[in-house]
Chains A and B, each alone.
Chain A
Amino acid sequence: MHIQKILFVFSLTFIVFKVNSQSVDLFAEKYNGQSSNIITATFKSTRVVNGQSIENVGTGIMDFRISHRFGAISQGSYNLFGLDQATMRIGLDYGITNRLMIGVGRSTYEKQYDGFLKYKIIQQQDGERYIPFGISYVASSIYKTLKDLSTSYVPYASDRFSFAHQILIASKINDFVSVQLTPTLVHYNLVENNTIPNDFKSIGISSRIRLSKRVNVTSEYFHRIDKLAGYYNPLSLGIDIETGGHVFQLHVSNSNGMTERTFINETTGSWAKGDLCFGFNITRAFTIKKPKELRGIKW
């Protein structure tokens, strides 16, 4: 009993002490103590060049994306250094949540339609909860609508599909350098003959180096583990330029495909032979759904 009383008195003195110290100086106190901080803007855009980057479009944002790839510069002036042979893709991407985005597109190459979804599994963080890299998963399917020349075999609709699964492992090392590894599996529902496998593994390595506030240099290389004969590994070098609501991506590449299957496995050009193609992506973001925090605010 006696001990309890003493304890009680002691605890009261403690409370008094606490209240006193709290009211001494608010300026000296710590604010915004938070356990972790999610790293943003690892890449400038949702694509590095052709391939997916770990970036998603924001919730409720629609990203309109136009991509152009020209023919090889080495073709000379007859084709105006490749400019006569443009292939293009128009696409719409949309952010459903801050982790999930979807997109659809149409490329002139093989008259492909494509759709994908990308999900952020782990987000890079610093602070108390330190995660040095982020992981996303991308699944995409490509539907080729170009009419086949072959008459001996009438393909099923399913034969026109190919798929790609990618794990994106990316790290923003500092404000200036980001890198990404992209293990990829491409599956063809139909291949030309039974000596060719349906599944192709490859690994991509991408980077972004920031030169100034608005200019970034990107690179993207895919190393094919399983190879289709007669094709090359794609290597692309690009510049990302931001201007307000747009991002311009200009690049040279030995590939002029824009869907996973096409640029990873079916790159026809070779850097060694100088088959370089010029290309660009332009994106414009539109707000479809305002974040709920910003609704109903009048200025």
Chain B
Amino acid sequence: MKTMFKILASVIFIGFATQINAQKVFSTKSGQLLFNASGGIETIAAVNNQVDSKLASATGQFVIAALVKGFKFENQLMEDHFNENYMESTKFPSSDFKGYITNIKDIDFSKDGTYTANFDGNLTIHGVVQKVTTKGQIKVKQGKPTISGEFSIKLKDYGISGSYIGDKIAGVVTIRVNCTYQN
């Protein structure tokens, strides 16, 4: 009985260990998203430091999700306009990207280093889904990956409108991602 138990336990242990190695999920709830929509003299930029993100090392599945209301601006009035007039955050409370790192096989999460990652997936902003393909960087340090990257979107692709867009507010917005994951 005792040996039976030992065998059983070790089998399960091995199973458990390999599962973790093969399908590790990295996650964070304090990722950072920044965007810059400055069109003219005024700086229109915001940051959200409570971004939810997960990354599966085996499949390359990658999700990043942010609450629209979590973006902080320099100016409260801008923040209110952003929520009420442009993003309509009561109707569309969150924005997310769901996709894959297509070259996940090239990234070794057990080895420190800097890797280039190709992202391919769907970006949902203001309730509109668009395909996005972009490059980013994955830095692995002591088993903890950090994803960083920058890409731009056209506001009109996401149905965001207003008379200031193209004037005070840039029509093309730069988005910057910065997420350090726990393992």
Binding site for B on A (CB under 8 A): 5, 8-9, 12-13, 15-16, 19-20, 22-23, 25-27, 29, 31-32, 34, 37, 40-41, 57-59, 61, 95, 175, 213-214, 242, 244-245, 247, 285, 287, 290-291, 293-294, 297, 299
Contacts and interface: CB of A to CB of B under 8 A. Distances in A.
A26 B63 contact: yes
The 6 A-B residue pairs with the shortest CB-CB distance, nearest first, are A58-B76, A31-B65, A23-B23, A31-B52, A26-B61, A213-B85
A216 B174 CA distance: 31
Interface range on chain B: under 10, 10 to 19, 20 to 34, or 35 or more? Answer: 35 or more
Given A22-B25, A26-B56, A41-B84, A291 B45 contact: no
Contacts of B181: none
Contacts of A34: 67
Contact of A8 (B9, B19, B42): B9
Interface string B1-30: 000010011001101100110011100000
B45 A214 contact: no
A41 B52 CA distance: 25
Contact of B81 (A13, A95, A242): A242
Interface of B: 5, 8-9, 12-13, 15-16, 19-20, 23-25, 34, 36, 38, 42, 45-47, 49, 52, 54-56, 58-59, 61-63, 65-67, 69, 72-81, 83-85, 90, 93-94, 96, 98, 162, 164, 168, 174
Nearest to A213: B85
Contact of A27 (B5, B63, B79, B83): B63
A58 B5 contact: no
Contacts of B20: 19
B152 to A, nearest CB: 12
Contacts of B54: 26, 29
A244 B164 contact: yes
B69 A40 contact: yes
A287 B47 CA distance: 16
Contacts of B72: 291, 293-294
Contact of B168 (A16, A244, A294): A244
A291 B74 contact: yes
Nearest to B13: A12
B76 A27 contact: no
A26 B16 contact: no
Nearest to B91: A175
Given A12-B9, A61-B77, 8 more contacts: A12-B12, A13-B12, A23-B58, A26-B56, A40-B80, A245-B75, A247-B77, A291-B73
A285 B47 contact: no
15 contacts: A5-B5, A12-B12, A16-B19, A22-B25, A23-B19, A23-B24, A25-B61, A26-B54, A27-B98, A40-B83, A58-B77, A244-B81, A291-B72, A291-B73, A299-B174
A41 B80 contact: yes
Contacts of A294: 45-47, 72-74
Given A58-B79, A242-B81, A287-B75, A9 B67 contact: no
Contacts of B76: 57-59, 61, 95, 285
Contacts of A57: 76
A294 B93 CA distance: 22
A38 to B, nearest CB: 8
A32 B67 contact: yes
A64 to B, nearest CB: 12
A26 B74 contact: no
A213 B9 contact: no
